[in-house]
Structure 1
Amino acid sequence: MKKRYQPLSEKERQQKTEEYFEEIVKGVRGILTDEKYKEYLDFSSKLPRYSFNNLMMIFMQNPNATFVAGMKTWNGFGRKVRKGETSLKILAPIQKKFKEEKENDAGKKEMEEVTRIVGFKIVPVYDVGQTEGVPLPFNPIVPENVEPSDFAEKVYNHLKIKLNDEELPVTEKSLDRNGLYGYYSPTEHSITINGDHDITNKLTTLIHEYAHSIFHSPLGKYRESGKDVKETQAESFAYLTCKYFGLDSSRFTFPYLASYASNSDQLLLKHQDEIQKETNRLITKIENLVLEKEISFDVPVRELADQQAESTISLYRFGENYFVTKNIDETHMNNIEAIRSQRDCILLETGNKAEALTLFNQERVHYPDNAVNKLDEKKGYIHLYQVKNEELFFIGRSGFTGIKRLSEIMRDQAVAERQFQQAIDHVQVPKQKEMELS
C-alpha cells in the first residue's frame, strides 16, 4: 500500500527551521575564521538577490551552485528537474495578515490590514545543473564577459553623478600620499577619489568608500565600531559588488577576519545580512543606470534559445546588432567579425530587434506559457496558439514545461483555425467509429 504524504505539524516545522538556523551559525563560524571567506564571497556574488541565511544554506549544500530556482520556475523556463536529483533547502517567510488600529491623516482611528512575517518554512529549490531541457536565455543587464575597463569607462561617471545628486558629495583630486586610491570622510560625509589612477581603479575605490559611507557615517549604525569590523564590512561589500560586475577589487585584502570572527555568532549573522542587503541595493542602482542611460557593451549576449533535437536556435545581441543563429559555436564569438565568419550558422543579422524576434519565434519549437495565447476552448492537450504580439499561429501541445509546436507556423489565422479543426477531427474520428461499431 502506497504511503500517504503527511505534512509536518507546526511544531515539527519550527524544530526543522531552528535546526537549519543552527547549521547556518556553524557555517558562519567555519567560513569567517579561515580562507573560505573569499570562496564564500565569490559564491555569493553569483546570487546577490538571496538573503544571507539562504546563501549560507545553498553554499553549505552546493558551493558550486550558480542559478537556483524552484521546480515551478524551472518549468516556466521550459526545463525540468532530472529524475533522482536531491533538492536544496532554503527558508521562505510565512506571512499572515492582521488588522491593526491606526490614526488616519484626519486623526481618526480606523482599522488597517497589515502583513507580517510570523515564521519561516523550508522550501525545495534546484540548481540549473540539476535540470535539463530548453537552453536558458543568457540576458543579464551587464554580461559576464565585459572588459573591466569598458564597464568602468561607461559606468563610473554616471554612478559618481548619481551619488552626488542623491546621497553624498563625490570629488576627484590628486592625493599626495603614495598608494592612496581614495577615502571617505565621516566629518564631511563625502568621498574623495584619487584622480591620478585609471578609471577601473576609480570605480572599485568608489564602491569601497561608498560602503564606508553607508555603514560608518556620523549617523551610521556602525560608526563606533572598531577598524576590524569597518574594513571587513567595506571589503565584503566592495568585493561582492565588483565581483558581480566582473571587476577585480583584490587589492583590498581581508586582514581583519580573525578579530572580526571573535565576535558573537549572532553579530556575524547580523553584519553579513546587512552587507548582502546593501550590496543588492547598489547592484540594483548600477543596473538601473545601465538601463536608464541605455548603455550597451560589445559582447555577445544570448537573449533567447531553443533546443530542437540536435539543433540549437538562438537569438543573440551584440551591441546594436541582432543575430538569429542555428548551431553557432559560442567559443568563437569574441567579436562581431568572429560571429559573421560563421555565416552558415546565421539565419539573420539585423539592427531591428522585432524582426529578429519574429524570425526566432518562427524557428523555435518550444514556447513558455507566457509567450503565447491559447485561441480555443477545446478540452485536451492539443490547442491552437498565437505567439504574443505576432501574427504567428500554430497547433501545439501543452505540457508542464510549456508549449511544444506540432505544426508549421502559419501567418493566416483563418488557415490556422481550419487546420486545427482538421487535426481535432482526425483525433476524434477513431473514437466515433468505435462507438458506431459497438
Structure 2
Amino acid sequence: MAENTAVKEEKKTVTLTVAECSEFHNMGEFHENITSVAEAVAKFKEIPPERMHGIPTIGIRVADPKNPEDSVEMDVLIGKRIDLDMLRYVPDIAENWQAQQMIATLIHDMPEAQIEGEIPENIQKKIDWIESRDKRADELHQITDKLEKGVKDVFQSDKYKQFLNVMAKFPRYSVNNTMLIMMQRPDAQLCQSFTGWKQMGRYVKKGEKGISILAPAPYKIEREQTKLDDKGRPVFDADGESVKEKVEVTIRAFKVVKTFDLAQTDGKELPMIGPNELVGSIDGYPKLLQALQEVSPVPVSFELIDGGAKGYYNLENKSIVIQNGMSEVQTIKTLLHEMAHQKLHDKDTVPEAKDITRNGKEVEAESVAYVVCQHYGINTSDYSFSYVAGWLEGKETPELKASLDKIRQTASEFIYQIDQRMEVLMAEKEQVQEKGANPELQGVVDKVLKDLDQKRTVSKVKESVKTRIKANAEKAEQAPKRNKSAKTKEERA
C-alpha cells in the first residue's frame, strides 16, 4: 500500500559517472548515465591500474531532465577514499533522497574505502538499513535452506510423527515455524519470546540458546512514481509532462527472531499447559464425542459396517458413518479422520481434491486426526505412518509443503472449534451440577416458583374477566342509543 509522503516537487534525474581521471574526465575512460551503484563499482574496478591517467573516481550527477545542461555533479569516491566533506557545499546532492541512497550503497559496497568527513544522519540511517537487510537476507537464506531440506526429511516415518507431535502443541504456528521448532528443539512444550516470558512472570535461564523462527518484518521504502487523479489517470503539468510524486511503499518481508521453550525458563508457576490428559477418558469421552458431532458440518451416524472399514465419508449423501462398537480412542480418531476427508477431499466443494491421489488423501486425513488427538492427550502413536514413504516418492518440495500447510490449518481449525464447543458443554454440565447440589433446597425453590407462576396465572385470569365485564357493560349502555337512531332514520325514510 502506498502512502503520499511529499507534495509535488521538481523532478530530478540522479545518475552515476565513472572516470579514469578525477581531475580531467575527458582523459581516459569515462562512463555516464549509470543508474545503479553495482554497475558503477564494477566499471570502476575494471579500469586497469597500469594505464590510469590520474586517480579514478565515481561521481553523482543530479540534473533537470528538461534542461540537461542544468546539472550538478560531485565526485564521491576518489581513488580509495569517499569524500563527504564536499556534501555541505552541494545541497542539490546532499538533500536528494535518491542521491543519499546511492552514497549509502557506495559506502556499504566499498568497505575498503576511507571515509573523509562525518556521515550525515540521513545517509547513516540508510547504511544501517542496508546492513540490517543483508543480515536478514543471510539469516533467511540459511533458515530457508534448512526448511527445504527439512520438508523432505520430515516425511520419513519417525520424523513425520515427531513433526505432527510438535504441530499438536503449537496449532497456531505456521508450518515453517513448526518445522523449525522441531528441528532445533523437538521436545518443546510452550514457546514464547524473551519479552513474552517476562510478561508472564518468568525469565530465560542464563546461557540458553533461542530457537530461530520467522516473523513478519515489513519495511517502507520511498520511490518516485507518476501522480494519479481520483479516477486513476496520470496528472500532467502545464508543459504536458507527467507530474511525479514521492510515495512511501510498505514491502512485505520476514526476519529471523528467537523464541524460547518453557524448559529454558524459570519463575512464576504457570497454569495448566498443553492438552488436557483427562480428555478421552471415560468421563471426558461423551462430551468430546458430542462436541465433534456438533462441530461436524455433516450428520454423523454409527452403524455396523461390513468389510472391516472403521468409517467412511459418504460423498453422495454428505454424511459420515462410523463403525459402531469400537473403542473410545478409535472412535474419536476415526471420526476426526472422516471429518478431515469431508473438509479437504469433497470434490463438490474442493475441486482441486480430484488431483490428489488416494494415498495422499489418506495421509492428509490421518495426519489431521493424529494432530488433533495428540493435542487432547489421546495416544494414537501406535498408528503406523509407514505408507508416507510411498506417497513421498516423486513429490517435489512445494507439493509436500502445500500438504503440510493444509494439515496444519485444518487441525488448527478443528482444535479451535472443538475447544469452543467443549467450553459450552462443560458450562452446561456445571450448571446442571449446581442445580442438583442441594435437592431439598432446590425443591423449595421449585415450589415457590410454581406457586408464583400460579398466582400470576390467576391474576391474569381475573384481569381478563374484569376487562370482559367492562366491555360488555359499555356495549349494553350504547345499545338503546343505536336503536333510537335507527328508528329516527326509518321515520325519515
Distance 1:278 1:136 in 2: 28
Distance 1:296 1:247 in 2: 24
Contact 1:90 1:123 in 2 (8 A): yes
Q: Which residue does the alignment assign to 1:87?
A: 210
Ranges of 4+ aligned residues in structure 1 off by more than 6 Å: none
Measured after TM superposition, the shift of residue 28 of structure 1 is 1.9
Q: Which residue does the alignment assign to 1:61?
A: 184
CA gap of 1:95–1:172, structure 2 versus 1, over 3 A, is farther
Question: What are the superposed Cα offsets for residues 39-86 of structure 1, whole Å, 9 maximum, x if unpaired?
Answer: 222232222221110011111111111111001110111111111111
Distance 2:199 2:429 in 1: 28
CA gap of 1:89–1:236, structure 2 versus 1, over 3 A, is same
Q: Which residue does the alignment assign to 2:402?
A: 270
> Aligned pair 1:201/2:330, yes or no?
yes
Contact 2:154 2:160 in 1 (8 A): yes
Question: What are the superposed Cα offsets for residues 255-309 of structure 1, whole Å, 9 maximum, x if unpaired?
Answer: 42112222101111111122111101000001001112225999xxxxxxxxxxx
Distance 2:212 2:377 in 1: 28
Question: What are the superposed Cα offsets for residues 339-370 of structure 1, whole Å, 9 maximum, x if unpaired?
Answer: xxxxxxxxxxxxxxxxxxxxxxxxxxxxxxxx
> Aligned pair 1:294/2:417, yes or no?
no
Distance 2:262 2:417 in 1: 27
Q: 1:175 aligns with which of 296, 305, 310?
A: 305
Contact 1:74 1:81 in 2 (8 A): yes
SS in 1 for 2:148: helix
Letter in 1 for 2:372: T
Q: Which residue does the alignment assign to 1:27?
A: 150
RMSD, aligned α-carbons = 2.9
Contact 2:304 2:324 in 1 (8 A): yes
SS in 2 for 1:14: helix
Question: What are the superposed Cα offsets for residues 24-47 of structure 1, whole Å, 9 maximum, x if unpaired?
Answer: 121122221242211222232222
CA gap of 1:55–1:31, structure 2 versus 1, over 3 A, is same
Distance 1:248 1:82 in 2: 32
CA gap of 1:137–1:203, structure 2 versus 1, over 3 A, is same
Q: Which residue does the alignment assign to 1:158?
A: 291
> Aligned pair 1:258/2:389, yes or no?
yes
Question: What are the superposed Cα offsets for residues 232-254 of structure 1, whole Å, 9 maximum, x if unpaired?
Answer: 11111110001111123356432
Q: Which residue does the alignment assign to 2:246?
A: none
Letter in 2 for 1:274: K
Distance 2:189 2:254 in 1: 24
Q: 1:75 aligns with which of 198, 206, 218?
A: 198
Overall identity of the aligned pairs, in % = 31
Q: Which residue does the alignment assign to 1:51?
A: 174
Q: Which residue does the alignment assign to 2:252?
A: 118
SS in 1 for 2:271: coil
After the TM superposition, which residues 326-341 of structure 1 pair with which residues of structure 2 at under 5 Å, given as runs? none
Distance 1:250 1:61 in 2: 22
Contact 2:180 2:212 in 1 (8 A): yes
Letter in 1 for 2:408: Q
Measured after TM superposition, the shift of residue 196 of structure 1 is 2.9
Contact 1:235 1:252 in 2 (8 A): no
Contact 1:193 1:205 in 2 (8 A): yes
Contact 1:91 1:122 in 2 (8 A): yes
Distance 2:423 2:134 in 1: 47
Q: Which residue does the alignment assign to 1:213?
A: 342
Q: Which residue does the alignment assign to 2:35?
A: none
Distance 1:58 1:214 in 2: 27
Q: 1:10 aligns with which of 119, 122, 133?
A: 133
Contact 1:153 1:199 in 2 (8 A): no
Letter in 1 for 2:343: I
Letter in 2 for 1:39: Q
SS in 1 for 2:283: helix
TM-score w.r.t. structure 1 length?
Answer: 0.58
Question: What are the superposed Cα offsets for residues 109-139 of structure 1, whole Å, 9 maximum, x if unpaired?
Answer: 89xxxx9871211111111111111111226
Q: Which has the higher helix share?
A: 2
Distance 1:169 1:187 in 2: 13
Q: Which runs of 5+ in 1 are unaligned?
A: 1-5, 99-107, 299-318, 321-438
Measured after TM superposition, the shift of residue 17 of structure 1 is 1.1
CA gap of 1:195–1:97, structure 2 versus 1, over 3 A, is farther
Distance 2:206 2:184 in 1: 19
Distance 1:96 1:210 in 2: 41
Contact 2:373 2:380 in 1 (8 A): yes
Distance 1:135 1:158 in 2: 31
Contact 1:148 1:246 in 2 (8 A): no
CA gap of 1:118–1:233, structure 2 versus 1, over 3 A, is same
Contact 1:155 1:290 in 2 (8 A): yes
CA gap of 1:188–1:14, structure 2 versus 1, over 3 A, is farther
Contact 1:94 1:118 in 2 (8 A): yes
Q: Which residue does the alignment assign to 1:434?
A: none
CA gap of 1:58–1:296, structure 2 versus 1, over 3 A, is farther
Contact 2:280 2:376 in 1 (8 A): no
SS in 1 for 2:253: strand
Contact 1:69 1:125 in 2 (8 A): yes
Q: Which residue does the alignment assign to 1:131?
A: 265
Contact 2:295 2:417 in 1 (8 A): no
CA gap of 1:297–1:95, structure 2 versus 1, over 3 A, is farther
Q: Which residue does the alignment assign to 1:315?
A: none
Measured after TM superposition, the shift of residue 199 of structure 1 is 4.1
Distance 1:116 1:50 in 2: 24
Measured after TM superposition, the shift of residue 155 of structure 1 is 1.7
Contact 2:333 2:369 in 1 (8 A): yes
> Aligned pair 1:280/2:280, yes or no?
no
Contact 1:235 1:253 in 2 (8 A): no
CA gap of 1:159–1:96, structure 2 versus 1, over 3 A, is farther
Distance 2:315 2:304 in 1: 20
CA gap of 1:154–1:34, structure 2 versus 1, over 3 A, is closer
